[in-house]
Amino acid sequence: MSKRVAVLMGGFSVEREVSLKSGAAAAAALERAGYAVATMDVRRDARILVAGLEAIQPDVVFNALHGRYGEDGAVQGVLDIMKLPYTHSGLLASALAMNKPAAKALFAAAGIPVAESRVVHKNEILKGDVMARPYVLKPLNEGSSVGVHIVREGDNAQPLNENDWPFGEWVMAERFIPGREVTVAVMGDRPLGVTEIVSDRDFYDYTAKYSTGGSRHLVPAPLPEADFAEAQRLALLAHQCLGCRGVSRADLRYDDTRPGEPARFYMLEVNTQPGLTETSLVPEQAAHAGIPFEELMTWMVENAQCDG
């Protein structure tokens, strides 16, 4: 008898629409692979979630949620209590990866280069610059570049005001790293490759990530061989130091802008539940490594775990 898989999708974070696409793609691939699949659009009511899962009685939960409450350990805790194996990382790794200051502290302790940063109250930002320009303002615990704002030399407008920051009282300010955007998917203990992301927008923001034509992906990234290997090493180290499992994706900056000096990588973040849409990076990188989408989804289900 084939395994029964419940695909959690949608949710109630700002990344809901992307999650619906990821969940639909995963569900279709798993059905083609012969699994019995049921999908659940997760709402903000844990009682409904638990009742729905009890009705489905899945062997495995495929977690296709993105953003807060689906990617930050909240749903993982419920699944652990129910003793249901699920894809991607567990509660602690998910929570650590989603909290940017906590993740950066662990990266730095592991010897992974990170940009200088500080956590500031939004009232401090309203009074003026919180570090030398250019710098980046980021929510502490959102994904997909939601809320990210670059403060550049010559910008006259306030980077935020009291009414347009729905992400809490505290903000991470981070030194802007020039150069190129690269990303590395990790599958278990195996880096799958390196992709360079090229966008005509100011940076690889939400629109560039998920709009058709918003960015171009260079697979494999045109990097020197030693730098290509270093990007993969750093991604695997970040995956391991957070305690991730399953599939993750590390985003890095590659600063090759200083003449006469070697290029340097800086770890930006690790995504414990990377997107699975038609423009997503992990399926594209896996395919280049010889792993078709259906095989990738199957591997994730067969390697699902829980900490219950």
- Active-site entry in 145, 249, 266, 280: 249
Q: What dotted CATH number matches 4-87?
A: 3.40.50.20
CA dist 29 and 32 (Å) reads 5
Known catalytic membership, residue 123: no
Q: How confident is the model at residue 202 (pLDDT cuts 50, 70, 90)?
A: low
Known catalytic membership, residue 271: yes
Tell me the per-residue pLDDT of 220-270, one tens digit each, with 9 for 90 and over. 999 999 999 999 999 999 999 999 999 999 999 999 999 999 999 999 999
Known catalytic membership, residue 284: no
* CATH architecture observed for domain 117-175: 2-Layer Sandwich (3.30)
Known catalytic membership, residue 142: no
Q: What is the pLDDT of residue 107?
A: 98
pTM: 0.91
The CATH class of 97-113+178-296 is: alpha beta
For the chain, what is the HEC assignment?
A: CCCEEEEEECCCCCCHHHHHHHHHHHHHHHHHCCCEEEEEECCCCHHHHHHHHHHHCCCEEEECCCCCCCCCCHHHHHHHHHCCCECCCCHHHHHHHHCHHHHHHHHHHCCCCCCCEEEEEHHHHHHCCCCCCCEEEEECCCCCCCCCEEECCCCCCCCCCCCCCCCCCEEEEEECCCCEEEEEEEECCEECCCEEEECCCCCCCHHHHHCCCCCEEECCCCCCHHHHHHHHHHHHHHHHHHCCCCEEEEEEEEECCCCCCCCEEEEEEEECCCCCCCCCHHHHHHHHCCCCHHHHHHHHHHCCECCC
State mean pLDDT over 56-73: 96
Q: What is the pLDDT of residue 301?
A: 98
Known catalytic membership, residue 77: no
The per-residue pLDDT of the chain, averaged, comes to 92
Q: How confident is the model at residue 186 (pLDDT cuts 50, 70, 90)?
A: very high
Q: What is the pLDDT of residue 229?
A: 98
Q: What is the pLDDT of residue 210?
A: 46
- Active-site entry in 210, 230, 248, 266: 210
- Active-site entry in 141, 248, 271, 280: 271
Domain boundaries of the chain, sorted by first residue: 4-87, 97-113+178-296, 117-175
Known catalytic membership, residue 210: yes
Known catalytic membership, residue 269: yes
User: Is 156's pLDDT higher than 90?
Assistant: no
Known catalytic membership, residue 308: no
